[in-house]
Amino acid sequence: MSERVVIIGGGFAGLNAARGLRRSEVDVTLIDRENYHLFQPLLYQVATAALNPSDIAYPLRSALRRQRNATVLLADAVDIDLARSSVRLDNGDLPYDYLIIATGATHSYFGHEPWREHAPGLKTIEDALEMRRRIYLAYEAAEREAAPDRRKDWLTFVVVGAGPTGVELAGALAEIGRQSLAGGYRRIDREEVRVLLLEGQDRVLPEYSARSSAKALSQLERLGVEVRPQAFVTDIDRYGVSIGDESVGARTVLWAAGVSASPLVKSLGVPLDSAGRVEVEPDLSVPGHPRVFVAGDLARVGFGDGIVPGVAPAAIQQGSHAAANVRRLLEGYATRPFTYVDKGSLATIGRAAAVAEVGPLKFGGLLAWGAWLLIHIFYLIGFRNRVWVLSGWAWSYVTFKRGARLITGRQTHEDLPRIERS
Amino acid sequence: MSERVVIIGGGFAGLNAARGLRRSEVDVTLIDRENYHLFQPLLYQVATAALNPSDIAYPLRSALRRQRNATVLLADAVDIDLARSSVRLDNGDLPYDYLIIATGATHSYFGHEPWREHAPGLKTIEDALEMRRRIYLAYEAAEREAAPDRRKDWLTFVVVGAGPTGVELAGALAEIGRQSLAGGYRRIDREEVRVLLLEGQDRVLPEYSARSSAKALSQLERLGVEVRPQAFVTDIDRYGVSIGDESVGARTVLWAAGVSASPLVKSLGVPLDSAGRVEVEPDLSVPGHPRVFVAGDLARVGFGDGIVPGVAPAAIQQGSHAAANVRRLLEGYATRPFTYVDKGSLATIGRAAAVAEVGPLKFGGLLAWGAWLLIHIFYLIGFRNRVWVLSGWAWSYVTFKRGARLITGRQTHEDLPRIERS
């Protein structure tokens, strides 16, 4: 019987790990709680109605349908029993000979759990649809609201955290504000729409160079985003955010700040860092468990003075590397340490604007935006998804419209402003 | 001040009523609980993953943005106070001089409310996504299930009701079964997939001619659908349906049977028929209330020996007619009675198959399917929606794939089959 390789998680790391084993005589089982691979870098575009969920999600089963040694199972991994070499699932157990854990990260509220309800984060399709619902519902509420001061709160959007996701969200929110002019609202004035981007550190995109950061700042300001560096959020409720003594009225607050590793590894009994990531060996294996690997956002791997960032290219490289090490062990060789190849960083800031860093090269504007566009299309899985996303972008670019402005999900409207007409 | 016309509901009737008043000196307010107009005839394609929600939904605000006398409000209409000429909303009241009620119909379980949980119907985007979730989750569950008899229940799909929606759903389900071959499942055999279409009357499409019905039946059977006429469902639970003494194991049951009018009019104190529709005057007004009109599925209007059917063309005609009668009253003329122009009926049954009835003309197959396609594209609102739907269809037709096979919505997998691997 073939050796059993179990992979938990069908993100960039897990999917690439599975593919890395396509020519091996092993029995690969990929489990995920969703039936699709999600292209997370474009999730903010679903949240802001530019793309549909199915544009950036691809069924895992289809992705691996031709790989005959791979089986996809829809399941929740509840626990890992390293002693018995078995993964406990929602209903059943899955024994393994080799295990690759790639369940990624979720957002963290730094211990402020009540904030979760008022400031949704962005990790899943459901998160993105919830953000979309809140953004467009806020405009509808503003249109109902007769009192200018209360209407202002409905038209104030706060993004917490100015990493790539926060910058992208803030840029898109500013564009939605401009587009609302043409949206058929009767009461809303474009000038009433405010987008605030709050960052605890002293500049936007703190992981980028100072030059790119400055470029991003000027592009954000051109779009009308109010950028507030060194702003520490001290409270969030349904009426707004507090920044120390200052209180900002805002009915829509989006969370793009903390990240914490998937809780699945908490019970492993192996060293974790403060964000909950596994402190893996250089070959990505779990200390003391040479047949168990961790890949993607869940792994803490050193790189230069710091660590490998939690970005898609790193997850892809780690997933492939974990698979390569499994192959080496199967063939009786020693594993190899992982080396991260930094292909650069890219963040987009609204229409035809972005910043890029590739090695010593740092550039912005239209060129960076073009690079961003090509790279994202290239890494999207599936011919249909590529064509759909490109057409969606082209349509939005030409018409200045967003195609998916639907408020979905069950709701009552009782908490929306009172309608007063004579 | 202009006279106030309030329209409740942004479906085919309500939206066309609003447009019919675009040149009148009135103040039109259209209220709807959703922010979009939904193209309901294609909702089954969202339920079966062929189209995205945003392909068949169009923001009401955009639809009326150029009509300066119209305001769109997102709100629930809770009650109508005919004596005070005012609509009570979730939060606030809206007084009117003229009222057009167009809140349509919902599905009815004929008094069996517990069935709702086990057999979702199809009226809203949320309904369609719930159907999609159940259909694709059933395949995932079947892939987890080791026991052939229990796997069979997961692969048995029952559609209750063989009107146009039921026939379309059953056809699409049979196609999904065929496509599953190419879907990358390792345990599912195409031969295990069963689609049953249950109908209480003695044939499918009972509102169509016997000839079209026979044609539809043969097209359904060619797709592998098991059609069961004169089958009265006596019970539905999470394990299947009962038809008298017979019990059919099926983990997915879809409801396409009863329709009942929107409950909003129950408290009006005006005559309703057994399905809850308002027995309107020939001019579509509510008896005793000449400035209040009812249009669309909510109105019961005689036509020949029977009544005007609850289809999109009838709703469009009634919405326009109600608006025309408001205009006549505004200008001091008497209202005119509504006359339904039957433009024919069309139902599609899977790939390149449909039945059509236009006056004395009855035809099927590719020609009817082509007509169905053109008419649906023509009536879709919005250039983008038309292009997207046509491209989606073309892609599916060529590749035999469905583009939106996502299982979304919060879930746990604990009730899915136990995973047993050695």
Inspect the interface and report whether the beta carbons of A406 and B62 lie closer than 8 Å: no
Query: Which residues in chain A have Cβ-Cβ distances shorter than 8 Å to B132?
Result: none
Q: Give the lowest-confidence range in B68-72, B135-139, B351-355.
A: B351-355
Inspect the interface and report whether the beta carbons of A53 and B408 lie closer than 8 Å: yes
Select from A54, A91, A406 the Cβ nearest to the Cβ of B35: A406
Instruction: Determine the Cα–Cα distance for residues A179 and B97; give it in Å rounded to an integer.
Output: 33
Distance from CA of A311 to the nearest CA of B (A): 24
- Tens digits of residue pLDDT in A113-157: 999 999 999 999 999 999 999 999 999 999 999 899 999 999 999
Ranges of H-type helices in B250-337: 312-330
Query: Which residues in chain A have Cβ-Cβ distances shorter than 8 Å to B386?
Result: none
Inspect the interface and report whether the beta carbons of B90 and A414 lie closer than 8 Å: yes
Q: What's the whole-number mean pLDDT along residues B370-397?
A: 82
Q: Which of B3, B32, B39, B52 to mutate to test the interface with A (most CBs of A within 10 A)?
A: B52
Among the listed residues B130, B143, B145, B168, the single catalytic one is: B168
The rounded percent of chain B whose pLDDT value lies above 70 is 99
Per-residue pLDDT of chain A (422 residues; tens, 9 = 90+): 799 999 999 999 999 999 999 999 999 999 999 999 999 999 999 999 999 999 999 999 999 999 999 999 999 999 999 999 999 999 899 999 999 999 999 889 989 999 999 999 999 999 999 999 999 999 999 999 989 999 999 999 999 999 999 999 999 999 999 877 667 898 888 889 999 999 999 999 998 999 999 999 999 999 999 999 999 999 999 999 999 999 999 999 999 998 889 889 998 889 999 999 999 999 999 999 999 999 999 999 999 888 999 999 999 999 999 999 999 999 999 999 999 998 888 888 877 788 888 888 888 888 888 888 888 888 888 777 888 888 888 877 777 778 788 888 767 777 788 887 65
Select from A54, A94, A384 the Cβ nearest to the Cβ of B406: A54
Query: Which residues in chain A have Cβ-Cβ distances shorter than 8 Å to B79?
Result: none
In the numeric block, the tokens 């029952």 are attached to B158
* pLDDT band with cut points at 50, 70 and 90 for residue B228: very high
- Tens digits of residue pLDDT in B265-306: 998 889 999 999 999 999 999 999 999 999 999 999 999 888
- Tens digits of residue pLDDT in A34-69: 999 999 999 999 999 999 999 999 999 999 999 999
Inspect the interface and report whether the beta carbons of A405 and B35 lie closer than 8 Å: yes
* pLDDT band with cut points at 50, 70 and 90 for residue B394: confident
Q: What pLDDT is stored for residue B347 in this prediction?
A: 87
Q: What pLDDT is stored for residue A346 in this prediction?
A: 86
Instruction: Determine the Cα–Cα distance for residues B315 and B102; give it in Å rounded to an integer.
Output: 9
Inspect the interface and report whether the beta carbons of A94 and B421 lie closer than 8 Å: yes
Inspect the interface and report whether the beta carbons of B413 and A75 lie closer than 8 Å: yes
Q: What pLDDT is stored for residue A410 in this prediction?
A: 65
Q: Which two tokens stand for residue B181?
A: 């071959």
Nearest CA in chain A to B388: A388
Query: Which residues in chain A have Cβ-Cβ distances shorter than 8 Å to B77?
Result: none
User: Given a cut of 60, is residue B11 above it in pLDDT?
Assistant: yes
Q: Is A255 exposed, middle or buried (0-12, 13-18, 19+ CB in 10 A)?
A: buried
Inspect the interface and report whether the beta carbons of B126 and A408 lie closer than 8 Å: yes
Query: Which residues in chain A have Cβ-Cβ distances shorter than 8 Å to B89?
Result: 413, 419
Q: What pLDDT is stored for residue B422 in this prediction?
A: 55
- Tens digits of residue pLDDT in B177-222: 987 766 789 888 888 999 999 999 999 999 899 999 999 999 999 9
- Tens digits of residue pLDDT in A339-369: 999 888 888 887 778 888 888 888 888 888 8
Instruction: Determine the Cα–Cα distance for residues A303 and A207; give it in Å rounded to an integer.
Output: 14
Inspect the interface and report whether the beta carbons of A93 and B419 lie closer than 8 Å: yes
The ipTM is 0.91
Q: Which two tokens stand for residue B152?
A: 């069979």
Nearest CA in chain B to A395: B384
Q: Tell me how many residue pairs between chain A and chain B have CB atoms under 8 A apart.
A: 195
Q: What pLDDT is stored for residue A254 in this prediction?
A: 98
Q: Which two tokens stand for residue B320?
A: 């326009």
User: Given a cut of 70, is residue B410 above it in pLDDT?
Assistant: no
Q: Which two tokens stand for residue B19?
A: 């447009």
Q: Which two tokens stand for residue A236?
A: 């969030």
Q: What's the whole-number mean pLDDT along residues B104-121?
A: 93
The residues of A assigned a catalytic role are 168
Distance from CA of A415 to the nearest CA of B (A): 8
Q: What's the whole-number mean pLDDT along residues B245-262?
A: 94
Select from A125, A391, A407 the Cβ nearest to the Cβ of B35: A407
